[in-house]
Structure formats: C-alpha cells, structure tokens
Amino acid sequence: MGDFLDPALLPQETTFFAIWLLGVSLGLTACTATCLPFMGTWVLGRGGTQLEALRDTLLFASGRIVAYALLGALAGGAGMWLAQVLNGGVGNIIIGLVSLIAGAWLLRPAEAHKPCGIVRNAGQTPPLLLGFSLSLTPCAPLASLLAVCAAAGSVKLGMANGVAFGLGAALTPLLVLLPLICLFGSSLRDNRDWLTRWIRWGAAAVLILLGLRRIFLSI
C-alpha cells in the first residue's frame, strides 16, 4: 500500500462528494485489475444465467460497500492503527481464504448446485465475501480513506465516509464485464454438456491457486 497519508496533511473538512470521487477513482481503475481475476473466474465457473451473473455482481458490490463502511468506522474509532494492520498483510490472508472458499464451492457435486432451498442461496455467499475481502487490498485510495476517517476521530463520520467511498467504488466496469463473461461461458457450454464440468473444475482450480498465492505472499 505504501506510505499512509498523515492526517495532519489533509484538509480539515473533506466532503462526502470528494470521498465518493476517491472511491470512483478506485472502482474505475485498480478495482477492475484486482477483482476481475477472482470474480471473472467465479462467474465463468458457476455457469449461471445473465440475471444470476448480474445478481452476483451486485452482491460483490454490496460486500465492498459494507466492508468500506466497517473500515471507515473502525478507522474513525481506532485511528491509523487499522491502516498499519492492513499494511501488514492481514487483508491478503483474508482474500486468500475467501478465494479458497469460493473454489471449494465450485468443486461440490453437481447435485449441490441445483436451485433448491438453502443450497441455492449458499451460492450467493462467495461473491458477497469476495467483495468484502477484496476491499481489504492495500492501495493508495484506501489509505487515503482511512487517513480521512482517522483524522475525523468519529465512528459515525468514519462509517459515513466509508459508505460514500464504497458507493463510488461500486461504479466499476465489472458491472458490464462480468455479465459479458457469463455470456461467453454460456456460448462455450452451448450443446457441449461435457464441457460444463471442466470449466467448473478449471475455475475452481484457478480460485484455489489465487487464494494460495495471496496467503503465501503474506506469510
């Protein structure tokens, strides 16, 4: 993440609009490069409909908003201590663990993916967790958000800043790219039922490898 901003160097008053723009800058740039390998692999491996891909994308964005709201509140109450913790690699470990969970979900027997009851709803958990965990990726915009929240010294104001930042970060090209990846996967599977299993297993392997890489780089 690099050096964190000194709260003393920040303006005394930072508007929610400025925080939102900071989130937009993340969502339109680094977010896509960091999150696409995870969410793109998930959408391709799951093999759902366009509507399900859009729902997973919205769940992913919701996870990010919740994470930034929580981070902002914690930074407002604990100061720059939280930033130092994230800079120590904890975020990457959490991302790795969630990626392993998503990969394991794809490896379950095919019967477990049929749309029925609790099992169907379980498929909504990985994209939500991926959105939450990937928000912990060390980066300059996140460092700036935490510095602003720490300077505010208020849990409520920190949470509000986090929500504004998250709403900006939710405006990402993934909203278009992920449904397109789903469409591409559907075209690959068309009249090729045998390929569905291999795509799912391949996506699961990629998510597991991505997770292990994140964990090993943080140890």
Domain layout of the chain by residue ranges: 12-218
- Average pLDDT for residues 44-60, to the nearest whole number? 90
**Average pLDDT, whole number, for the chain?**
85
Residue 190 and residue 40: Cα distance in Å, rounded? 19
Residue 144 and residue 154: Cα distance in Å, rounded? 16
CB 131 within 8 A of CB 53: no
Report percent pLDDT > 70 for the chain: 87
Nearest to 68 by CA among 3, 144, 4, 127: 144
pLDDT, position 117: 46
pLDDT at residue 17 above 50? Answer: yes
Nearest to 76 by CA among 161, 1, 139, 138: 161
Tens of pLDDT, residue by residue over 163-201, are: 999 999 999 999 999 999 999 998 888 877 778 889 999
Q: Which two tokens stand for residue 142?
A: 């996140």
- Report the first-to-last Cα separation within the chain, whole angstroms: 16
